[in-house]
Amino acid sequence: MNLPDELDQIIQNKIANNKSFEALSSNAKSISERYRNNANSGTRLLTKSDEAIAYSLARMPATYGAVYTALSSALENADSSINTVFDIGAGTGAGTWAAYEMLGNKNFVCYEREDAMIEIGEKIMSHQKDLSSAEWKKFDIVNDIFSKKCDLSIVSYMINELPKEHVLEVISKIWSATNEVMLIVEPGTPTAFENIKTIRQYLIDNGGFIVSPCTHQNICEIAADDWCAFSCRVQRAKLHKMLKEGEAPFEDEKFSYIAFSKRPVKCAKARILRHPTINKGYSEFKVCTPDGIKNIKLSKKDGEKYKLSKKKSAGDTLEL
């Protein structure tokens, strides 16, 4: 998956063009370390304009890819009319760009606490005709109140930053402000998945209907020493690759997610939880089904199902 060419060019040629590589690299490393070491601490992790620029270069591609992938899956099942989108904890706007690429021009509102993120996010969107009208609001998700509602709320890589005691309080607030679908995307880590599981049960108990990735509303069977995460491959532009100090022209972003609807939906019958094991003449899949987690084997005798399954990977649905 590529960051949209337009967005990539805006970031590199309009936002970061007059910044030294040394400064960008230093800020990118510092930001990465802070985000990695402060899960659920509530610490303010980014406050300066130059840090937000480095963030847009180093993290927007992966965040965009994760949100786009999760939202694609959610909208396959959610039969909803989406006109207003809230990007909550918007950062520099990756979630909004992902929703725009998928849904087209909607009424976008970006809620963000940090002035530096808002400044750079607005600058990036000002160079795109449709998104230049997106509304940015300085907003503290713990202390502030929504004054209106949306059809789709996107919460990406924010829950992991909140103190644990505020997680369900914040989820309740966002759920109340959502008319149709809420999507939560978090890092693909055990800690983040624990948050996802807690949120999952809370929203089920409060009348929500799972859209994706789960195939049921029963107790999650993922073991306590395991976690449910998926991956998207994001192509790296030259500067992005330099900041990451990697040789590969891509990075694999691991993420966990959950999407809920206010209305009943038709969920997938089976979703692949791990990369398939491909053998000569047959493939093996670990899948989530309404009857629990199962290990499925498909071979040549399964005909078209087997042919189709050879193109599948973790996160995809599987016809059984």
What CA–CA distance (Å, rounded) separates 218 from 214? 9
Domain spanning 5-261, CATH architecture? 3-Layer(aba) Sandwich (3.40)
Q: Are 180 and 151 a contacting pair, CB within 8 Å?
A: yes
**DSSP state at residue 48:** S
Domain ranges in the chain are: 5-261, 271-309
From CA 265, how far away is CA 258, in angstroms rounded? 14
pLDDT for the residue 242: 64
Contact (CB, 8 A) for 123 and 95: no
Q: Cα–Cα distance between 131 and 27 in angstroms, integer?
A: 27
CA distances from 96 to 77, 136, 147, 243, 258 (A): 20, 11, 20, 24, 17
- Cα distances (Å, whole numbers) of residue 297 to 221, 269, 290, 315, 320: 20, 16, 18, 17, 10
Query: In Å, how far are 10, 87, 113, 116 from 128, measured between CA atoms?
Result: 9, 17, 23, 20
pLDDT per residue, tens digit, the chain (320 aa), is: 889 999 999 999 999 888 887 878 888 788 778 777 776 766 777 879 999 999 998 899 999 999 999 999 999 888 789 999 999 999 999 999 999 999 999 999 999 999 999 999 999 999 999 999 999 999 999 999 999 999 999 999 999 999 999 999 999 999 999 999 999 999 999 999 999 999 999 999 999 999 999 999 999 999 989 999 999 998 877 666 666 666 777 889 999 999 999 999 988 999 999 999 988 889 999 999 999 999 999 998 998 888 888 889 999 999 87
| pTM as predicted | 0.93
How far, CA to CA in Å, does 43 sit from each of 39, 46, 120, 160? 9, 9, 20, 11
Q: What is the reported pLDDT for 20?
A: 81
